[in-house]
Amino acid sequence: MTKWERRQLRNGLLFASPWIIGFCCFALYPLVMSIYYSFTAFNVVQPPVWIGLANYQELFFEDPLFWTALYNTLYFTVFSVPLALMFSLTLALLLNQKVPFMSVFRTVFFLPSIVPIVASAVLWLWVLNPDSGLINSLLRQWLGIEGPGWMADARWSKPSLILMSMWSVGGAMVIFLAGLADVPQTLYEVAELDGAGPVKKFLHVTLPMLTPTILFNMVMGLIMAFQYFTQVYVMTGGSGTPLDSTMFYALYLYRNSFYYLRMGYASAMAWMLFIVILGATLGVLYSSKKWVFYHGD
């Protein structure tokens, strides 16, 4: 490099140094150390002791609660992600119509997604209260039936959380609205000339053009669902009750690390979660070659 190029490189590194130092201290170092700790017995108070693959062996063969937490997380992910996609897409289609005060309606449906998670969890605790909650009260008054126990019932706890997750689809809805705005109007005009009605235009024009947006929302939804934590922690006090039906993977990881101080075991759990999320994401991206269409295709 010339003297001028070396000076430019030095100046660039100096300006980027705050980010580089922060990345190394708060991202790279914890990442590397978590790999090391996953092969140790480490309780924070005492130095880590190398135990090899013992943490992973305990995960797969000696800890039934690990499989329970993984099942609960997969159950939530399998149902909540497709439902959130369908619900947010439906809202986006409805809010894409040219009617008066549409900006007001869009704001109203987007607001729940920016409500703090803790506040929304406390709100839903009241809504889903089996005795005095809003839903069960309406069921008694309007239909004369007794509603389920919701979060107090092991059979309804996960469906309750899935129902609650539909509350915050406003972010995905806005992304779908942006995708709808990007669909060429000429395609609709050509479809109308061919005699296509609203349903056929949606199936053959809107939906194919929205597949890149669907892919993005699906990947983001998968990542967030596998890390589902704050809502269930607030609503159950971190206990995973009733009968461990809400013991999600991230919650169990948190309990091992900060309740039981098993940092090595929690690190092994964190890397298993990373592998699961990576595998699910790569699987979706690989399958996208068959169902995602871009404007140039």
Q: For residue 297, is pLDDT > 70? A: no
- Of the chain, the percentage scoring pLDDT greater than 70 comes to 99
pTM: 0.92
List the beta strands (DSSP E) in 110-229: none
| Side-chain-facing half-sphere of 54: CA atoms under 13 Å | 11
Q: For residue 25, is pLDDT > 70? A: yes
Which of the four pLDDT bands, split at 50, 70 and 90, describes residue 1? confident
Which of the four pLDDT bands, split at 50, 70 and 90, describes residue 84? very high
Among 52-56, 66-70, 144-148, 248-252, the range scoring the smallest mean pLDDT is 144-148
Domain with CATH 1.10.3720.10 in the chain: 59-291
Q: For residue 98, is pLDDT > 90? A: no
- Give 160-173 pLDDT, tens digit per residue: 999 999 998 999 99
DSSP code, position 154: T
| For range 221-231, the mean pLDDT | 96
Confirm if 126 and 235 have CB atoms less than 8 A apart: no
Q: For residue 296, is pLDDT > 80? A: no
pLDDT at 101: 87
Tokens for 248, please give them.
């999600």
Q: For residue 81, is pLDDT > 80? A: yes
Confirm if 233 and 254 have CB atoms less than 8 A apart: yes
pLDDT at 132: 87
CATH class of the region 59-291:
mainly alpha
